Structure 1
Amino acid sequence: MSQLIWRVAFSVSLFAGVLCACPLRGQAQDLDGLLERARAAQSSGKYAEAAAIYAQATTLAPATPELWSNRGVMEYLAGQIGPSIISLKHALRMRPTLYIPMLFLGKGYIQSGKPGLALPYLNKAHSLQPNDPEVFLTLAKADAALNKPREAESAFANATRLTPDSPAAWLGLGTASLRVIAADGEELATTQPQSVWARALFADELLAQGRPLEAADTYNDALAKATPSQHATFARTVSWLKFHPDLFPIPANSQTALQKLDEQLSSAPSKASWPTCDAASALLDAAACAFWAGDYERSAAQADEALKRSPQDPEALYWSIKSNERMAVAALARFEDLAPRSAFAFDMVGDLYRDQRQMDSALGEYRKALEVDPHDPGALLGSVVADIGTSRLDEAAATDKIALADRPQDAQLNLLMAEVLAANFHYAEARPYLAKCAAGPPEIQPRVHLLLAHADAEEGSTEAAIREYQLALPGDQDGSIHFQLSRLYRKTGNVVLAQKAEDQAKALIAQRRANATIEMREMTGGAASR
């Protein structure tokens, strides 16, 4: 992103002289001063200030599309996504071939939860500058948001080829590969759970988990049903696992089992039926051969081509998962090499700690990220969430204010500030922040409406509170919102709706208990099987 910001600043310097040649000398001098101030603000990360200065500049020179473009970019970086989209579209109406507005319109629509609207702009940007890694990174994010992990993976891979030293590209590639694995794994488990390919894949996982007896039983179960060709394929794959401990590390208690399994399979007569691995190999043979040769990207591509023809083919899913596992490991290792002390790396580790509810450890990682970049949005946001999670509301509010100075229109930051204020019963102060969440992504809206409902109820506006609670119902996971709505219905004398809401609350509670029971059975069953 920093390279893009430099390009924005450079574009201003290129046309500043032209602007200064306008007849109104005083106006040109004023504009020169504004541009200098804008460059200083953006270079120090004060994007909201830079956006405000560019807004003044567009008033002085409203017919200059580059000014509108830079205004839109600064508004985007300040979290003012709605105004950013308006400014960038205005720039394109004046000059439809500007690359930067196309790219940042794509970013803006992704940020606002509308990745489908981003694609036309990003595709046009790609046609203008096909070798710009930034457009590949942004296209990848759009594809990921549209649940197209393979397309995202391809775009991130292109970005790594263009910028092999980009931590963001390698992190994105690793993450996209993991999403491909998850999607293919779910497909295989749903449609072909008893296939020899699914069983062999599960056996590999058991080895990695240090469960060698179960792994051996699972492999033998698969081999009992395997054709001679499948038997040979598994023999060669197990041999590959054994001879590549650096790529397939397993616990010590699994190593003996893997050795015995390799000896068992290697002595079988079906070994002679291994794929020939020549140029004329069929798709899935080519996927297997590329995997054994260490060309995991080609293996994945061959498996992907087979899946286009037959989306539920268990062998194609098997090779896609196997090759993407190796690609994900390599990409994430490359990311760690490139960014051992980057804000990116600290953010990622902090997020992992936060997911595990280890908030103090998460905060420690976010502090490291902020030492590298005091304006790092991921670390600021993560710190606020972690502080709220540990009831450090004063610390959360202080950090949120710092983040909002850079991104005053960011819906999530505004919602978190409202959460802190509502927790202290400062509902009137929370309302302006909630108002800025209206244009935020759909997933936060139930929480926004819930806080508004609390505010209305606290202020005695029962009907308004009921309307807000109704809008918050999609976010009710434990029946609590239905119960609160039920009480308000009773308060207004509507016993029928009150009873209905209460019944729905009880149903949600029962469902949650059932889910918890199932989860506990699975956990204890898994533990017992070990």
Structure 2
Amino acid sequence: MPKLAIQLAALVLFLSALKGATGLAQSNAPSPVDKYYEEGQRALARGQFQEAEKIFEKLRELSPSVAEVHANLGLVYFNEKKFEAAVPALRQALKLKPSLTKTETLLAMSLSELGKYREALPILEKEFRRSTDPVVKRSCGLQLERAYTGLQRDEKAVEVALELNRLYPDDPEILYHSERIFGNFAYLSVKRLAEVAPASIWKHQAAAEAWESQGSYDLAISEYRQVLSLDPRRPGR
């Protein structure tokens, strides 16, 4: 799954809130917090996450009660794929300020990356339905596919894949994951068919088509002969 794309608007929102909350604009004399704030802003803008991590960890020591510090640190951890570290940072941000919607979404994505699908699912479902931000919606959709597949809710994964295909018809990553989900669902459907009706004409028909698609023509012919033995008048496809 991809990293959540960092949008400038989100960074401005976080960092502006941090500046106001810590009183950075209220004093003419630079403080250590001012210094770290400016450095953190520059590091995030350049995508220098290792540097940003050090800065926001220091800011967390200096301003532990500021939700945006924890939110930004969680954002940095997420982009570094340090999901185990991202989760507590994001939880703390939401504890201090529950209104940080983007942080809640990022928490759900981090939980999904860790395989904690049941906890992530309600937030991912909500954000996928309501978000008008194409980057957030796309990321939530991909994580939602992961969660549904991990929970063996394959029909729901197919529904999300169809919606993502509609919204992002030329996105290679979307198409790749859709192909995997559709293929998995087809396999599970054929497997179920073999379990409930192993001697049926439909099972042999499905097997014949599967072998044919793989270029195994001898095996396909054998299955097609089984089809004809069960229904000699059956028309071709």
Range into which the TM-score falls when normalised by the shorter chain: 0.7 to 0.9
**TM-aligned CA distance change 1:124 to 1:66, over 3 Å:** farther
**TM-aligned CA distance change 1:95 to 1:182, over 3 Å:** same
1:482-521 deviation per Cα after TM superposition (whole angstroms, max 9, x unaligned): xxxxxxxxxxxxxxxxxxxxxxxxxxxxxxxxxxxxxxxx
The amino acid of 1:199's aligned partner reads H
**TM-aligned CA distance change 1:122 to 1:149, over 3 Å:** same
From 187, 192, 199, give the equivalent of 1:194.
199
For residues 208 and 164 of structure 1, the distance between their equivalents in structure 2, rounded to whole angstroms, comes to: 25
From 6, 10, 14, give the equivalent of 1:12.
14
For residues 208 and 163 of structure 1, the distance between their equivalents in structure 2, rounded to whole angstroms, comes to: 27
Contact 2:15 2:68 (C-alpha < 8 Å) held by counterparts: no
Structure 2 match to 1:148: 153
For residues 92 and 213 of structure 1, the distance between their equivalents in structure 2, rounded to whole angstroms, comes to: 61
1:21-47 deviation per Cα after TM superposition (whole angstroms, max 9, x unaligned): 5545546x5444323322443455442
For residues 144 and 185 of structure 2, the distance between their equivalents in structure 1, rounded to whole angstroms, comes to: 17
For residues 166 and 37 of structure 1, the distance between their equivalents in structure 2, rounded to whole angstroms, comes to: 35
Structure 1 match to 2:230: 225
Structure 2 match to 1:178: 183
Structure 2 match to 1:115: 117
Residue-pair matches, total = 231
**TM-aligned CA distance change 1:76 to 1:150, over 3 Å:** same
The amino acid of 1:136's aligned partner reads G
Q: Which runs of 5+ in 2 are unaligned?
A: none
For residues 38 and 78 of structure 2, the distance between their equivalents in structure 1, rounded to whole angstroms, comes to: 20
Contact 2:109 2:140 (C-alpha < 8 Å) held by counterparts: no
For residues 119 and 92 of structure 1, the distance between their equivalents in structure 2, rounded to whole angstroms, comes to: 17
- How far 1:102 sits from its partner (Å)? 1.6
Superposed counterparts of 1:3-402, under 5 Å? 3-15=5-17, 18-19=20-21, 20=23, 23-26=26-29, 30-126=32-128, 128-129=130-131, 132-226=137-231, 231=234, 235=236, 238=237
Q: Which runs of 5+ in 1 are unaligned?
A: 239-530
**TM-aligned CA distance change 1:200 to 1:128, over 3 Å:** closer
Contact 2:19 2:37 (C-alpha < 8 Å) held by counterparts: no
**TM-aligned CA distance change 1:16 to 1:157, over 3 Å:** same
**TM-aligned CA distance change 1:67 to 1:173, over 3 Å:** same
Contact 2:67 2:92 (C-alpha < 8 Å) held by counterparts: yes
Contact 1:68 1:90 (C-alpha < 8 Å) held by counterparts: yes
**TM-aligned CA distance change 1:182 to 1:129, over 3 Å:** same
**TM-aligned CA distance change 1:57 to 1:214, over 3 Å:** closer
The amino acid of 1:9's aligned partner reads L
For residues 33 and 21 of structure 1, the distance between their equivalents in structure 2, rounded to whole angstroms, comes to: 10
Larger radius of gyration: 1
Structure 2 match to 1:392: none
For residues 206 and 141 of structure 1, the distance between their equivalents in structure 2, rounded to whole angstroms, comes to: 29
For residues 211 and 71 of structure 1, the distance between their equivalents in structure 2, rounded to whole angstroms, comes to: 53
Residue 190 of structure 2 aligns to a residue whose secondary structure is helix
**TM-aligned CA distance change 1:213 to 1:169, over 3 Å:** closer
Structure 2 match to 1:524: none
Relative contact order: is structure 1 or structure 2 higher (C-alpha 8 Å, sep ≥ 6)?
2
For residues 109 and 78 of structure 2, the distance between their equivalents in structure 1, rounded to whole angstroms, comes to: 8
The amino acid of 2:221's aligned partner reads A
What TM-score do the two structures reach when normalised by structure 2? 0.80
What TM-score do the two structures reach when normalised by structure 1? 0.39
The amino acid of 1:222's aligned partner reads V
- How far 1:83 sits from its partner (Å)? 2.7
Contact 1:71 1:84 (C-alpha < 8 Å) held by counterparts: yes
**TM-aligned CA distance change 1:166 to 1:213, over 3 Å:** closer
- How far 1:143 sits from its partner (Å)? 1.3
